[in-house]
Amino acid sequence: MSIVLHYNEIVSIEKQNLQRGMNFRCNPEYSVLLMSTRNNAPFEDEVVADGRVLIYEGHNAYKNHTDKDPYSVDQPRHTPNGKLTDNGKFEKAALDFKEGNEKPEIVRVYEKIKDGVWSFNGIFKLVDAYEKEIDGRSVFKFILTLTDKPMNENETEIRLKEHARLIPSKVKAEVWARDKGKCVECESTDHLHFDHILPYSKGGTSESAENIQLLCARHNLQKSDKII
Ligand SMILES: [Zn+2]
């Protein structure tokens, strides 16, 4: 299961307007990553290890920092005046954790499904970072592992608490289009969830759109009552 949110709900949960993909320590206790894809481009973020691990690709050079196509140059660790970019900050946090010097950075991940429609993908720990040569340039890769623990016991945290596995982006996009952005039971467009038809705990897969459907909160709850 994965909660569907409108962008203004993310703004109200995070208490800020997130303009960039990578937002290091935008909250005193955690960072936020937004997953979205360029039109007609392959998905750059990968879901592996049965949906427990996300590999997030770093950000390109900002347009005002380079006169070349940002997709053609190395992803930057530093800004032109020598400060760490978000790539550099996330990398430092990952390596500090890996070397045993710091606790892992906590990262919340939201993913864009289409304009204005997002899903909350869960709360992660940042555990590693590396650079990889792709198409003749260097890109950053960040390894994040899903944690089931809510950060606090307040209402928002409990609402966001997820035991589910990540559903790959292409599966979500396929399900959203097939179900036309509506609950399959009642056509409601409010409080939608991506629901595993056969639950993950009973062997249902996240890898195929055939096992995922859109349900509103009411039908999602009815279904979990039946399962229990
Ligand atoms: Zn419904």
**Across residues 124-128, what is the average pLDDT?**
94
Q: How far is residue 119 from each of residues 92, 111, 152, measured CA to CA in Å?
A: 27, 5, 20
pLDDT at 199: 81
pLDDT at 215: 94
Q: How far is the CA of 119 from the centre of ligand 1 (A)?
A: 17
Length of the chain: 228
Q: How far is the CA of 66 from the centre of ligand 1 (A)?
A: 48
**Across residues 200-217, what is the average pLDDT?**
88
> What residues have a C-beta under 5 A from ligand 1, the ion?
183, 185-186, 188, 216, 219
Question: Distance from CA of residue 190 to its chain's centroid?
Answer: 21
Q: How far is the CA of 130 from the centre of ligand 1 (A)?
A: 43
How much is the mean pLDDT over the chain? 85
Could you give all domains of the chain from N- to C-terminal order, each with its CATH number?
Answer: 2-162 (2.30.280.10), 167-228 (no CATH)
pLDDT at 52: 78
Asked whether residue 42 carries a pLDDT value surpassing 60, the answer given is no
pLDDT at 170: 84
Write the secondary structure of 161-214 as one string of H (helix), E (strand) and C (coil). Answer: CCCCCCCCHHHHHHHHHHCCCCCCCCCCCCCEEEEECCCHHHCCCCCCHHHEEE
Q: How far is residue 27 from each of residues 22, 48, 95, 103, measured CA to CA in Å?
A: 12, 27, 20, 16
Q: How far is the CA of 19 from the centre of ligand 1 (A)?
A: 32
pLDDT at 25: 96
* Tens digits of residue pLDDT in 77-125: 999 999 999 999 999 999 999 999 999 999 999 988 888 889 888 889 9
Q: How far is the CA of 189 from the centre of ligand 1 (A)?
A: 8
Q: How far is the CA of 41 from the centre of ligand 1 (A)?
A: 32
pLDDT at 162: 46
Q: How far is the CA of 190 from the centre of ligand 1 (A)?
A: 9
Q: How far is the CA of 116 from the centre of ligand 1 (A)?
A: 21
Greater confidence (174 vs 158) lies with: 174
